[in-house]
Amino acid sequence: MTVKLKDISSEDIGDVLLKAEKSFGFKFSDDELKDVKTFGELCDIITHKTQGVNSDDCTTQQAFYKLRGAIGTALQIDKKELTVDMKLEDLFPRKHRRRQIREVELILGFQVKVLQPKQLLVTLLIVFLCASLIGLFFDWQAALAGLLLSIAGFRISERFGKEFSLETIGQLTEKIARENYKKVRRNAETINRVEGI
């Protein structure tokens, strides 16, 4: 079965393209994708643009060792004690979590984006946003103020969130290997084509 790109949301395609550019370290030119009609053709172009010498070493394993070293250094603990099954909540106490995650990110050289606000706060902000949208029909000025407060609330809560979006070091390893492919490899000039690029 051939998947036509016209059947997929342009925003979804745009998100995939941005993530591929970031993870593999290349940019698409403006006219490079104009003749692409199917998902297979898009995959072929991404595969072709992914430059590097093929190496059969596991990117996720390299990401784990890099992450393990960064966590060990940031928390000043023996990195050999860290396993893929360890819970992030147990390693990073809530009180110092944001600072410690920032230290890990500085050591890694990229953001891991693993913290989020409490779900209850997000739910309340969504309810407030919806109420503000409905309020536009009754009192547009108050509703507009509500919309602005909701948006500001989302931004502030995202910036200061302390809840983990993932549970274990293993899950975080897979996330950073997927989102920062070239940066987690020991040699950024190599790729593992078997891993499904």
- For the stretch 138-151, pLDDT in tens is 888 888 998 999 99
Same domain, 132 and 46: no
Residue span of the structural domain in which 174 resides = 59-110+168-184
CA angle 184, 185, 190 (to 5 degrees): 145
> Does 27 reside within a domain?
yes
> Does 30 reside within a domain?
yes
> Does 190 reside within a domain?
no
Is residue 89 within 8 Å of 164, Cβ to Cβ? yes
Give this prediction's pTM: 0.71
Same domain, 87 and 172: yes
**Residues composing the chain:** 197
> Does 192 reside within a domain?
no
Percent of the chain with pLDDT strictly greater than 90: 37
The number of folded domains in the chain is 3
Which pLDDT band holds residue 91 (cuts at 50, 70, 90)? very high
Same domain, 38 and 130: no
Same domain, 153 and 63: no
Spatial distance between the Cα atoms of 181 and 4, rounded to a whole number of angstroms:
27
Same domain, 178 and 104: yes
> Does 193 reside within a domain?
no
Q: Whose CA is closest to 114, among 162, 69, 185?
A: 162
